Amino acid sequence: MHTFNRRRFLQAAGIASAAAALPRALGAATPARVVVVGGGFGGATVAKYLRLWGGGQVAVTLVEPNADHIACILSNLVLTGALSMDRISLGYNALKTNYGVAVIQARVTAINYGSGTGKGRVSLSNGRSLDYDHLVLSPGIDFIAPPDNPGAWDANVTPHAWQAGAQTLLLKKQLASMRDHDTFVMTVPKSPYRCPPGPYERACVVADYLKRKRLLFARVVVLDANAGIQAEPVAFGEAFNHIYKGMIEYIPDATVSSVISQTRSIITSAGSWSNVRVLNYIPNQRAAAIGPASSANRGWPLLNAQGFVPVDPLTYGVSGYPNIHVIGDACAVPATDGQAVPKSGHMANAEAKVCADAILRALNGQAPDTNIATSSACFSPITATTASWLSANFSYGNIYDAAGKVKGKGMQRVDLGEAPKISGDNYQDMFTWADGLFADSFI
Ligand SMILES: Cc1cc2nc3c(=O)[nH]c(=O)nc-3n(C[C@H](O)[C@H](O)[C@H](O)COP(=O)(O)OP(=O)(O)OC[C@H]3O[C@@H](n4cnc5c(N)ncnc54)[C@H](O)[C@@H]3O)c2cc1C
């Protein structure tokens, strides 16, 4: 993926209708104020492209508590020592110097949604507040505690490493402490969750690491809350049944009821494990809180039953809340039953561009384009030298319920593919793809 101009992106993504659709009022006297919350793949990309395509028409402020974004993408390779943290650390300097994005290092603590006026205010942890004409929220995910004895779960003792950074380094240290005959127990959250192939990929790289350390009697137990493997069933079936046969034990339909971090114990509907060497409990997920945990909907204007924010895929707007947009893992995009839009960095990047285009059109009094396409790609290392991949493409149109009846408009999955085989070429391609996505989002 390369940095390219708006018209080329619109054409490549199939969302160009006419040159007339490009904004006309670049350099308007008072730039519109766009505040972006969260500097991950969604937030960084929307901030960059608003400025790249909108120029002086928009003043963009990105609010993010961390000095750098540590990408989850490739982070499983940091666990095994194949990559360093530096390799997945992405800074904000290029957004500032190349595009003129104002970056404030702070957390958003509360949002005034403007009572339907479309103009509101966000409050920051540093005591400041920012007024906005459009607000784009891309804060990612947070975690749902197990239902029984939730206070016994402590992610600082049994890390999920599903947000990269300190959690990744803690899990790396715990993995390095494993000896022969030890067990690494991990969970796969209930769908929808961040990066569908990610947990299975982690099981593979952990098993590969143990094998290369000649810990041949160590075991990886994968407790899946779902009925079956959620992504790349061919590649992971091959990995679990052949490459790591006897080392990885895969258990579907394992609903977690409690986790006691101090004793590294877990109770599920498929059995209980106690005092394991490493417990990598990856909890069920929902949109990250955007206000105090005690506030209604944890600060969100609207949430679906699964705890994500329903959006219009033409604008990523929230129904009834003009000028509020939600992109990335936090949003729920309407799709055909069983063909959900995946929560991935690649998809967050694509959604960000559609959202930037829609905001610029709105500022020029234009309707959003309806000729929209988005896509996702995930590369999954299987061994220290091989990988698989998954790709999915979506286009705006009718979407269907489980009985095949049209249920409305949304993003229809037009194809889904996984690598024909696990290979060394895929492993090399993984770095080319990741570097392209990192650059397109942050540079
Ligand atoms: C192991 C693993 C492997 C993965 N591999 C792939 C892959 O191969 N391909 C792929 O496309 N995706 C992959 N992903 C998924 C990808 O990392 C996520 O989908 C992506 O990061 C989502 O982007 P986002 O912008 O929604 O959220 P994030 O990237 O999580 O960014 C959210 C940002 O918001 C900030 N934030 C949160 N709350 C606030 C607040 N109140 N105020 C201000 N800022 C706030 C956070 O600090 C964070 O920086 C992987 C994930 C994991 C865990």
CB 32 within 8 A of CB 75: no
Domains and CATH numbers, the chain: 6-142+286-368 (3.50.50.60), 145-284+378-442 (3.50.50.60)
| Residues facing 90 on adjacent strands | 69
Q: How far is the CA of 425 from the centre of ligand 1 (A)?
A: 26
For residue 139, the ligand 1 atom closest to its alpha carbon is: 34
* pLDDT of the residue at 20: 31
Q: How many CB atoms lie within 10 A of CB 109?
A: 17
Report the residue among 72, 141, 160, 433 best suited for mutation to probe ligand 1: largest number of ligand atoms under 8 A from its CB: 72
Query: Which residues have a Cβ under 8 Å from the Cβ of 254 and sit 6 or more positions away?
Result: 187, 223, 224, 225, 268, 269, 270, 271
- Number of residues that make up the chain: 443
Q: Whose CA is nearest to atom 15 of ligand 1?
A: 344
pLDDT confidence of residue 28: 54
Supply the residue whose CA is at minimum distance from atom 52 of ligand 1: 72
**Measured between alpha carbons, how far is 159 from 191 in angstroms, rounded to an integer?**
20
Name every protein residue with a CB atom under 6 angstroms from any ligand 1 atom: 37-43, 63-66, 69, 72-73, 75-76, 107-108, 138-140, 162, 194-195, 198, 288, 290, 328-330, 343-346, 348, 378-379
- Return the pLDDT at 119: 85
| pLDDT per 10-residue tile (average), the chain, 443 residues | 40 35 50 98 98 96 98 98 97 98 97 85 97 97 97 98 98 98 98 98 98 97 98 96 97 98 98 98 98 90 96 97 97 97 98 98 96 96 97 97 97 95 97 98 98
CA–CA gap between residue 153 and residue 68 (Å, rounded): 28
Ligand 1 atom 3: residue of nearest CA: 73
Residue with CA at minimum distance from ligand 1 atom 45: 38
Q: How far apart are CA 338 and CA 413, in angstroms?
A: 10
